[in-house]
Amino acid sequence: MTKNVTQLSRIAAALTVTTLIGCGGGATTSTDIDAVDTSAPATGWELVWSDEFENATIDDNNWTREVNCDGGGNNEAQCYTDSEENAFVSDGALSIVALPAEEGAQKPYTSARLITRYKADFKYGRIEMRAKMPSGQGSWPAFWMMPTDEVYGGWPRSGEIDIFEAVNLKAADADGNPEAHIYGTLHYGQEWPNNDSSGQAYSLPDGANPADDFHTYAIEWQEGEIRWYMDDYLYATQRRSEVRYNSNGEATGLSHRGWYTEYFEQGTGELVTHWDNAPYDQEFYLILNLAVGGEWPEAVNETGIDAEAFENGQRFDIDYVRVYECASNPDTGAGCETVRPGYDSLDDALVEGAAPIPSPPSTGIAENLTIFDGTTNPNWPVWDCCGGSTPALVEDSAEGQVYEFSIGAEPTVMGFISRELFITEPAGQASPFDASPMEENGSVKFDLKMMSAPNDTTATWLFKIESSEGSTAVELPLMTGYVGPADTAGDTPEQGVWESYEFPLSALADAGLDTSAIDVIMIFPAWGAGEGAVYRVNNVEISQESAYPELVIFEDEMNPDWPMWDCCGGSTPTEEIDNDEHGLTAEFRIGAEPTVMGFITRPVSGGGDTPFDASALADGGLLQFDMRVVSMPNNASAQWLFKVESSDGATAVELPISDSVEGQVPAAGEWQTYTFPIADLQAAGLDLSAIDVIMVFPNWAAGEGAVYRLDNVKFYHPDGDTPATTELTIFADTAADQWSIWDCCGGSTPTEEVDDADHGTVAEFRIGATPTVMGFLADDDVYFDASSLLSTGVVRFEMKVSSAPNDASAPWLFKIESGDTSTAVELAISESLEGADPITGEWQTYTFPLQTLYDAGLDISAIDVVMVFPAWGAGEGAVYRIDNAEIAAQ
């Protein structure tokens, strides 16, 4: 119960509050109580500790009474005392009683909180209580656990387990019905106030209320999993997060989003996120308490505290508390699970946690994203978070088709979203955008016209952007991004005028945004102050002028992060004016001391420590410079060289300058251009990801007397904003190089056959009596990395069934594998975007989005098999042809 209103409102969201991150917290379980035998005892559990409350007094060997008026961190209205009036044993039960305090007391109520810390601490097991709850507006009973030793840091990094809690039982809910919900919750994650929680609400069938009778409340806690029960009915399951990795061992996401924690590593002192059993792999102690009021109970139901309900006291009666150990495996708690069908399904009892989602490794390719420019992007629908409206496409006299947002009485935020829950178009798919390759030069841009100001004319307009399901977010005043049409921004948007806004990705990253998985963009008046606002939005994009990274080292002036540099000769290269075409240039002079010269970003040599990642330029990118030799070296046979290094010299490539594309040697007095393809440098062994030195010089010890000037030194891509995207045509007239048409197990040899004029040569497959699957297979050690296509790519092919299987009911399947079967996804062919089953004699197209396959568990970085076939053992007699099979942008 160490919580504040932010965390608790998320748990109560199913009943009261809707928030952006998740837009809904715990959900009430709909229970079919007749489907489960709730009287069946749990098996395999061995009782290791209990308090049956049969003594005359509270057992001090088990419990410590806490005494404080701290308010529980939630502004609660009680002081916890050690008075027998607030906690006592009678008739075989413990009673915790909340009472009105004496006049003038520090808090208006007194109550009790009992803990077992250092007397009874537990790791794994079944923890159970039988109790009858208090009622009334403001009541807050709880049975929960906190870490005995905060191994991972202060709350909530070391975790919290709420076995049971309820607020305001029998007070009226929003529909006028008596409140009857209980909650099971975990708290974990980052340091407050950025902490996280996840849980589930539950209510008894037939309107039964926990305040009317005794019921059992329990968890079963094992390594990596915790389950919640009421009267032995399993209503919630929570698990550790499971990280997905690609073939390179890089984290690409979560196969299950559960709990997590972050803590400082002892060896390095680095704050690290952990998706594992922590923090629920340490000992915890038990807590029983009855709070009065606080930010959660006072904000819901009838609100506040009903003094009459507490006039004669409210009682939390506990029959017993018992702790069991899994006798077969006490070290992990596994093997004694009391489960039911659906306990591990997100559609039933399994709770999705709040762990941050590891971003897939960046492809390094900067691709611009258009979210809306008069045409909708099905992967990024328009969105009203919480107000219940549907933003509309309207015709604007100046801009044509634009989106119009209208804010009513309900507080809300609005914008565009790319999360699976909000994708409604059949062709749409959640496509978080990786803007990290353009972080240095890219921006979020949009145009806005305010049609009507909010009724509250002082309302601040805001821009907010989130990534990885809200794992990181940045909110800024809208007007800080104003770029026109006026020279300066006003305090709010000008009514009736289209205005442009731009927010640099570098600034957003500096403010804490993970730019690798952007999934929400919002534009809105401040929460609760927007009523009456009507505004239009157009030209929403995340882009940079060039979709390729570019580095200018010297062009009319020196790049301060890449100063001119004399390695070893003791000179200081200078900036000198040359002719009208070149203007200011970099001049280097070599004296008697042997040396090499150029440009450097290493801080030890005065550089700005900004190594350049040229990975995205590997396909088609260039390193280019202009040079004029003012004076040749005294040694006329000296060879001119070009050298580039990366990662403090960990890799380097040195070439004769005549190996450039131009193939020329310097001619004294002439400006000449030298171009080196990035791909050639990579092939020669250069690590492109951290280039930190560029050198041009006569060979070592042969350069004395040389004077030369450099200008227009840069890394760039000649195609500018048209990035190269890797695609694979698996079959079109013939199989791709290093791929073959393939029969897994039937012993046949698929063939290439000529079909109609549109298709020409196609791949033909025939299935005989031996069960098999068929398709296309990559050669050994050949894999296709489709990572750069994740957000927009598809697997697509055309198929014509010449003869259907003898078994007419045989379902047709599509299967794709990667990493030598380390991951695979199999789908009915009717689950393609077209949603069609094969029709004999007709060519049909089938499309499967890579995002769908990735979400289903496929590692798209090492695809090596694509199959299309009737179900195993049911395909005999089938003859079918496939053409234009590809993995490509949609």
- The DSSP element (H or E) to which 505 belongs, if any, is helix 505-510
Among candidates 451, 455, 449, which has minimal Cα distance to 529? Answer: 455
As a whole number of angstroms, the distance between CA 874 and CA 105 comes to 80
Q: Which two tokens stand for residue 280?
A: 């629920």
Amino acid at 124: Y
Point out the catalytic residue in the list 160, 225, 262, 499.
160
Among candidates 762, 721, 793, 782, which has minimal Cα distance to 883? Answer: 762
- Give the dihedral sign, CA 714/715/716/718: positive
160 is known as an active-site residue: yes
314 contacts 86 by C-beta, under 8 angstroms? no
366 contacts 442 by C-beta, under 8 angstroms? yes
When computed from its CA atoms, the radius of gyration of the chain, rounded to whole angstroms, is 34
As a whole number of angstroms, the distance between CA 136 and CA 293 comes to 10
- Phi and psi of 671, rounded to 5°? -75, 130
Three-state DSSP state, 696: strand
As a whole number of angstroms, the distance between CA 97 and CA 113 comes to 10
- The DSSP element (H or E) to which 6 belongs, if any, is helix 5-11
Q: Which two tokens stand for residue 274?
A: 């952990």
User: Beta strand pairing status for 774-778 and 863-870?
Assistant: antiparallel
Amino acid at 877: G
Owner of token pair 């001049």 = 587
CA distances from 161 to 49, 147, 281, 288 (A): 19, 9, 12, 12
Point out the catalytic residue in the list 76, 128, 165, 817.
165
Q: Please provide the DSSP assignment of 46-103 as one string.
A: EEEEEE---SSS--TTT-EE--B-SGGGTT-SEEE---TTTEEEETTEEEEEEEEPPT
As a whole number of angstroms, the distance between CA 182 and CA 184 comes to 7
- Phi and psi of 713, rounded to 5°? -90, 120
Q: Which two tokens stand for residue 804?
A: 């259907």
φ/ψ region of 819 (left if φ > 0, alpha if ψ in -120 to 50, else beta) reads left
What are the helix and strand counts (H, E) for the chain? 5, 56
Amino acid at 283: E
440 is known as an active-site residue: no
The conformation of residue 10, written as its DSSP 8-state character, comes to: H
Strands (E) across 363-442 are located at 369-372, 382-384, 392-396, 400-406, 414-417
266: Cα within 13 Å, side-chain hemisphere:
2
Catalytic residues, which ones?
A: 160, 165
